[in-house]
Chain A
């Protein structure tokens, strides 16, 4: 029997469940390795070579190199792990979150100052014809 996943119709959202975690195990563990300063330095010196030390898929490696966080999440990444890449790049959490929305950094910051993204129209896939 398939698992109950009542959250699949939440728009613009990927829930990090057991299936995603399994897919993203090595991607997330690579991110975790960036908690150590020595590893951050080695990654920065040659990103591709560092990624090749991990049994990640080619798609996952390309998504990391492109800093395409939405793609990383599709491929099993979790935002708290991916945040280690952002920290390595010197990015704030707000810059990282904003980068996934298609908005500019300023637009995203202004949206948050104005009270954030509204819930109306953002509960179910299809509400906004997306």
Chain B
């Protein structure tokens, strides 16, 4: 059976991709960001996931205001890096996993989460920057990726509670898939940042570090935090952090064995934690949580 072995959390700042693509990764400003991912790249090579379920948000790229799905699962065989106005990033095409994606879509919808199924979609920096941070600059990404786009552009975005519960449903779906696959779930976006208005440039280190602490040790409590706290404390675009709760809910300790789901597991093992200010307008946060060996 397929199993979720780890979850990864990271910011997805577009300027990080631009710096990497322009060969500026070695500059002191960017070195401080990339240094936080050296361990992660080694870890990725050791883990060799078969599939990455990548939670991110589209930034007015694939979805304009014509259609605004709250949760959209990419079921296509491949996804091209999008032209966001500067030309597409020079990164590999993202290969999907249509069979597992379709299985997860059916299972999660039957668990009362009304996903939008997307069979054609370009992917923007929200998805490709995390891949670059975790995998470097390979000729091809190391494994298939299932893009999972969350609306965090038009308010209201889904609640933290809903995101955590969705993660639990995704775990249940993956564990019922009849192939032996090593699956990772990634939650991306954040941390504190505000890109608009006179308050642009807001950073809140204290909030961010408390958020990282609670992601590790108190996901259920963190899921109760209302939207306005994200907006007030972490900036209008800091609301992206709710997406991290989807990945967190997919870890076994959140399952609790409720309504026929898998039994609750032990707390995850923290393999890596990193925090840095700034990358462009944004605080960069990063965590790797592994399923603990029973």
The reply to whether the CB of B139 lies closer than 8 angstroms to some CB of chain A is no
Q: Which residues of A contact B226 (CB under 8 A)?
A: 6
A21 touches B201 (CB 8 A): no
- Interface mask (B154-196 → A, CB under 8 Å = 1, otherwise 0): 1110000000000000000000000000000000000010111
A122 touches B199 (CB 8 A): yes
Q: Name the CB-closest residue of B to A130.
A: B198
A15 touches B231 (CB 8 A): yes
User: Are A115 and B197 CB-contacts (below 8 A) given A29-B64, A32-B64, A94-B15?
Assistant: no
Question: In which size bucket is the chain B interface?
Answer: 35 or more
Give the shortest distance, in Å, between A36 (CB) and chain B (any CB): 9
Residue from A15, A98, A111, A122 in contact with B155 in the complex, judged by beta carbons closer than 8 Å: A15
User: Are A83 and B85 CB-contacts (below 8 A) given A100-B200, A108-B201, A115-B277?
Assistant: yes
Give the shortest distance, in Å, between B70 (CB) and chain A (any CB): 13
A116 touches B85 (CB 8 A): no
The reply to whether the CB of B204 lies closer than 8 angstroms to some CB of chain A is yes
User: Are A102 and B198 CB-contacts (below 8 A) given A7-B231, A28-B65, A112-B278?
Assistant: yes
Q: Name the CB-closest residue of B to A33.
A: B64
B153 touches A111 (CB 8 A): no
The reply to whether the CB of A13 lies closer than 8 angstroms to some CB of chain B is yes
User: What's the Cα separation between A123 and B226 when bound, in Å?
Assistant: 15
Give the shortest distance, in Å, between A28 (CB) and chain B (any CB): 5
The reply to whether the CB of A50 lies closer than 8 angstroms to some CB of chain B is no
Query: Using a CB-CB cutoff of 8 Å, which residues 222-249 of chain B contact chain A?
Result: 226-228, 231-233, 235-237
- Interface mask (A62-75 → B, CB under 8 Å = 1, otherwise 0): 00000001100100
User: What's the Cα separation between A69 and B197 when bound, in Å?
Assistant: 8
Q: Which residues of A contact B153 (CB under 8 A)?
A: 16, 78, 80
Give the shortest distance, in Å, between B240 (CB) and chain A (any CB): 11
Q: How many residues of A contact B (CB 8 A)?
A: 52
The reply to whether the CB of A12 lies closer than 8 angstroms to some CB of chain B is yes
A-B contact pairs, 23 of them (CB 8 A): A10-B231, A11-B199, A13-B197, A15-B155, A17-B156, A25-B65, A28-B60, A35-B83, A35-B84, A78-B153, A87-B84, A88-B85, A96-B195, A97-B281, A101-B201, A108-B201, A113-B278, A116-B278, A117-B200, A117-B201, A117-B202, A119-B233, A123-B232
Give the B-binding residues of A (Cβ under 8 A): 6-7, 10-18, 21, 25, 28-29, 31-32, 34-35, 40, 69-70, 73, 78-81, 83-84, 87-88, 92-94, 96-98, 100-102, 108, 111-113, 115-119, 122-124
